[in-house]
Structure 1
Amino acid sequence: MTWLITGGAGYIGAHVAKAMVASGEKAVVLDDLSTGVPERLPAELPLVRGSSADRALVDRLMAEHAVTGVVHLAGKKRVDESVERPLLYYRENVAGLGVLLEASVAAGVRSFVFSSSAAVYGVPEAETITEDTPCAPISPYGETKLAGEWLVRAAGRAHGMSTACLRYFNVAGAAEPALADTGVHNVIPMFFDRLTRGEAPRVFGDAYPTPDGTCVRDYIHVADMADAHLAVARHLTGPGTRGDLTVNIGRGEGVSVRELASLVAEVTGNGTEPVVEPPRTGDAAKSVASAARITRELGWTARRGAREMVESAWEGWLLRHPQAARR
């Protein structure tokens, strides 16, 4: 069996690709390299540069590599950008997904894993978010992920594909420094970026109904995330597996932004006190996953804690910003 991993040179994608290859799975990566880094990938893993919305390219790639399963990680991922450019997000995340699914059906693909997001839930009032918590996305990004889930499930039912939708919570850390997040849109690299530039980390809001007044989030180590993808992929190809699976990918534990800032201070040795800025529109006070379903059905559970996420992310940051160690 050969897996096509779209967006496989990205931060999460490279971890998934590495985990699958290390476990003996055969794979090929498709990435337009808009944010992906080819050097992240194992040398033996084929990389094709291009878009998963390019039907002719995908048809040719699937035929040449005898693809029978897809892990779809490519897509636009920034909530703020989606508000400013909703047409782009619907084109890339929904229309592009439709093209990939059409190609998958034509090629006889039997298994399809879709990268979804906790953004599908919006701002739920639930203390712990289960897969049965009502979905009410509040951004175009979240809307496109929910629409993508609908499309994946419908295509699976209509064409006999086994499908899985993985609702990511907050991904952090790195399995090794070279695979670290190169962007500064997630909270931990945002903290690192400010400290490296000699500026105080920013905390958005400190009057939420939480123990320390800052938002509480469920952070999941990207290496655990990769292991979850491998477990799901193998589940879909197991004997007699049919139908669809929707699961949260998180630790089931909350960490506040202020607690995270304290961990960053300990790990970096930079105790610059965070500055509090006005809360951002749409930020939920608390967003913590229940990961009971994936544990029950697949036996997967997260193994790494918040400190490991910060420490591994810092090692990756120092690889690209060695001057940060001197501050």
Structure 2
Amino acid sequence: MKSILLPTDFSDNAWNATQYAVELFKDEECVFHLLNTYTPAIANSRFMAATLDAGNLENGARAFSENGLKEVVKRIQKNYRNPKHHFKTLSSFCLLTEEIKEVVEKEEIDLVVTGTKGASGLEEVFMGSNTVRIIKSVKNCPVLAVPQHFRYVAPSEVAFATDFNRFYTESELIPLIELANTFNAVIRIVYVQYEIKSLTEIQQFNLSMLRKYLSDVEHYVHTVSELNSVSKTLEMFVNELDIHLLAMLHYQHSYMERMTREPVVKRMAFHTQIPLLVIPELGMSAPYRHKREQEMSVSK
């Protein structure tokens, strides 16, 4: 049974991500952990200090959070009657990223699904700040970021962006392989080339290992020339091939890290228009990943 974490702030954006997750796993036994965190605003005026009741503020925020989670579960069960899906709710007085990290460990979460919404102005070019913080802070679990206006489409065309400069472990690729197997998806490995030249020996070796791991999955390798920036190039690739989901590993010097650091001017044209699966640099560090890897080995 999969364990899926759904952080929510009760916005339309969060509800859209919840709908996507429920649809994505409609044929699988799942426990969905709905999480809402709250930090009551504390007035900072010295004139209000005497009358401020912090306890009442926190109780009110907790009640709002708990009731909101109950309403989300009711809404899911009303719109998606699925006996394979089970729900747990968690209301926490905590910072969002800290609570997510704790829940991922405690509940052995397989995937975090979050809505992503750009901020106003120029920051809208990539994704919401909360989403970026989640991706950067969660080190042992994949994160799936769903754009606010994206409507569910079974991901039969998946792009995996990589530069072949890093060795992959099979445990890191499990989310990608499981996705491909579940939806009979084609994986399109896309390499953004900064200048026209042959792959190095290390890149060739890493590519051969990647293809070995994906041997049971239909996959193709695409080399594309960089257009202004990595983000712009991937956006063009996604649009031209009608990709349903973009996946990438997140590690030092990875595409994901570079995209979050690209100058605003270079990122202006890029909006997260399709779901983005960010796989952390697991290696063999996550103990419950071993179980998943063993299950896959047995099933082969």
Q: If the TM-score is normalised by the length of the shorter chain, which range does it land in?
A: 0.3 to 0.5
Rg larger in 1 or in 2? 2
